[in-house]
Structure 1
Amino acid sequence: MDYRDEVREFLTSRRAKLTPEQAGLPYGANRRVPGLRRAEVAVLANISVEYYARLERGGIAGASDAVLDALARALRLDEAERSYLFDLAKAAGRAPQTRPRRRGSNRWSPRRSLAQMLDAIDAPAVVRNGRTDLLAANRLGRALFADVYDGAEGTPNLARFCFLDLERSQRFFADWDHAAEVSVAILRTEAGRDPRDKGLQDLIGELSTRSEEFRTRWAARNVRIHGSGGKIVRHPVVGELDLVYEGLELTAEPGLSLLVYTAEPASPSDERLRLLASWTGTDAPVNPAGAEN
């Protein structure tokens, strides 16, 4: 990802999404651009029009935190978008890394203590990196994402599953469009953190080449902090599961997160999770051929 192009497209897209009314400005007449004009953003951020134009052309290296904060306020960026802007500025101002931060690979395996912790969690739990690779899971986690594991060549990847295994992913995700938006936003956020991550760029290139759905969403330049939320999935064995998840950054493994999925106590989904746990305690395959959807 060329950070100058990304800065330009990101700022242009955020400016286009913000109306004068939302920014507290008069609409006026003869507007030929969607959203705000460059001059209006400059006024709101209390910087010169020339400086803002330079920033929007990609010249963000060296911009101070105060300028970035003012720009984020002017464009009404949410927390994820603000973090992405700061990440782009950091990437623009640093030299290429000789030893990139590890984000997990096919060769990565959890430490014994991490594996023990995963096994001790009485709920589906997985370890994921910013590329959406599923690097480790407890038995319930593998059972929950059985379709993802069964269709994977090498390390299971949620974004690849979502866009390149459409038959399974559209069956698995009750709201496939939302799952697709989240997957792309996570990858976009990760690309802002480390635009020189070759594994990530290879994945983005593969998805862009093979999936029009991905290309369309990637062009929107939406970002997301994937810390908590809800997910409704259709499991091939136990049926529909309405789950919530919490994500925890692993301090000892920079770039990796632990995600734990739970259901409302005493709810139908809770009962189905217990059924899934019982199923995984047998020797039967998690996703048997011919199981009903």
Structure 2
Amino acid sequence: MDHRAEVREFLASRRGRRTPEQAGIEPGGGRRRVTGLRRDEAARLAGVSIDYYTRLERGNLAGVSDSVLDAIARALALDRAEHDHLYDLARTANEAGVRSRPRPRVAKTIRPELQFLLDAITEAPAFVSNTRMDIVAANTLGFALYSEMYKSPARPANHSRFIFFDPRAYVFYPDWERAADVNVAILRRDAGRNPHDKQLAELIGELSMRSDDFRTRWAEHNVRRHYTGLKQFNHPAVGLMELTFQAIDLQDDPGYSMTVYPAVPGSPTDEKLRQLATWAATEEIARLTTTSSAS
């Protein structure tokens, strides 16, 4: 990706989103040519000159101090994920042409201990994924929950390809639009954190080429942290389920995270997870587990 264009479009989109009224600025008389803040207004809010702010929005973040990045984040009302993304973009700008400290290498396979941990979680779906949103390992309930995704022969199973290429996703996610929005925002964040990941760039290119829905969302430059929340699934075997989720980055396994979907004890979804566990004790899920593990 063109890094300067990425910076330019991200900052311009965030500036265009915030109105003078939201920023506490009197818009004044006359017709405004922009719906959001003007560059001079954003510069004033950040406490920098218009020339300096213009330089930043043209994509030049090299050498920008943390205090200026924080001031820009406040001026544009960036949330935590957007603030982190700005830092990621600045880090990449500062790496250009400079010998930087090597980043931790991402292992091609997970440690056996992680699979043991997943298998020890018996009452909730759990899986490990990478920054490309591939499911690289799961427990039995995790495979069962995402069994629709595994109906495609491609391995590893990938959340993004499922959402944007597989018609089954429209049924599996009751709120498909939200699922698609979140997916793209997570990919945008991960692309900022991993600008040299060729496979991630290839995935984004494939999605952009094949899906108008993805391309439209990608152009919005939204980013998102996705560590806890609530999701709905319409599973073909047990129907509608509403599951909380917790996700953690695996510090000793760079590039991987683990997600667990526990149900509220005694809730209708808790009972449906029990039904899903019974359904999962079939030859189909056993074969699925073997096929995925071998890929």
Scaled by the length of structure 2, the TM-score of the pair is: 0.92
Show the 5 A alignment for 1:99-118.
101-103=104-106, 108-118=108-118
Structure 2 Cα separation of the partners of residues 98 and 65 of structure 1 = 19
Deviates more, 1:8-17 or 1:110-119: 110-119
Q: 1:228-262: per-residue Cα shift (whole Å, max 9, x none)?
A: 11110111111111111000111111121100001
Alignment of 1:261 with 2:288, yes or no, is: no
**Counterpart residue identity of residue 143, structure 2:** R
Offset, 1:133: 0.8
Instruction: Give the corresponding residue for 2:89.
Output: 88
Deviates more, 1:95-104 or 1:187-196: 95-104
Give the % identical residues.
52
Secondary structure in structure 1 of the residue aligned to 2:77: coil
Secondary structure in structure 1 of the residue aligned to 2:157: coil
Offset, 1:114: 1.0
Instruction: Give the corresponding residue for 2:292.
Output: none
Offset, 1:92: 0.9
| Aligned residues between the structures | 284
Q: 1:82-107: per-residue Cα shift (whole Å, max 9, x none)?
A: 00000000011114789664446xxx
Secondary structure in structure 2 of the residue aligned to 1:21: helix
Offset, 1:74: 0.4
Instruction: Give the corresponding residue for 1:27.
Output: 27
Structure 2 Cα separation of the partners of residues 152 and 177 of structure 1 = 25
Instruction: Give the corresponding residue for 2:42.
Output: 41
Structure 1 Cα separation of the partners of residues 46 and 183 of structure 2 = 31
Offset, 1:186: 0.6
Structure 2 Cα separation of the partners of residues 181 and 139 of structure 1 = 28
Instruction: Give the corresponding residue for 1:249.
Output: 249
Structure 2 Cα separation of the partners of residues 83 and 284 of structure 1 = 42
**Counterpart residue identity of residue 83, structure 2:** R
Q: 1:116-161: per-residue Cα shift (whole Å, max 9, x none)?
A: 1100012100101121111110111000000112214121110011
Offset, 1:168: 0.6
| Cα contact 2:140–2:285 (8 A) shared by 1 | no
| Cα contact 1:124–1:141 (8 A) shared by 2 | yes
Offset, 1:30: 2.2
Q: Which runs of 5+ in 2 are unaligned?
A: 289-295
Instruction: Give the corresponding residue for 1:124.
Output: 125
Structure 2 Cα separation of the partners of residues 94 and 129 of structure 1 = 23
Alignment of 1:185 with 2:170, yes or no, is: no
Structure 2 Cα separation of the partners of residues 217 and 251 of structure 1 = 30
Secondary structure in structure 1 of the residue aligned to 2:78: coil
Secondary structure in structure 2 of the residue aligned to 1:146: coil
Secondary structure in structure 2 of the residue aligned to 1:22: helix
Instruction: Give the corresponding residue for 1:205.
Output: 205
Q: Residue 211 and residue 286 in structure 1: after superposition, are their counterparts in 2 closer, same or farther (change >3 A)?
A: farther
Offset, 1:283: 3.3
Alignment of 1:14 with 2:14, yes or no, is: yes
Instruction: Give the corresponding residue for 1:142.
Output: 143
Deviates more, 1:190-199 or 1:77-86: 190-199
RMSD: 1.8
Q: Residue 152 and residue 60 in structure 1: after superposition, are their counterparts in 2 closer, same or farther (change >3 A)?
A: farther
Structure 2 Cα separation of the partners of residues 237 and 286 of structure 1 = 16
| Cα contact 1:237–1:287 (8 A) shared by 2 | no
Q: Residue 185 and residue 103 in structure 1: after superposition, are their counterparts in 2 closer, same or farther (change >3 A)?
A: farther
Structure 1 Cα separation of the partners of residues 58 and 181 of structure 2 = 27
Q: Residue 235 and residue 139 in structure 1: after superposition, are their counterparts in 2 closer, same or farther (change >3 A)?
A: same
| Cα contact 1:103–1:130 (8 A) shared by 2 | no
Scaled by the length of structure 1, the TM-score of the pair is: 0.93
Moved over 2 A (4+): 95-104, 281-288
Q: Residue 145 and residue 103 in structure 1: after superposition, are their counterparts in 2 closer, same or farther (change >3 A)?
A: farther
**Counterpart residue identity of residue 34, structure 2:** V
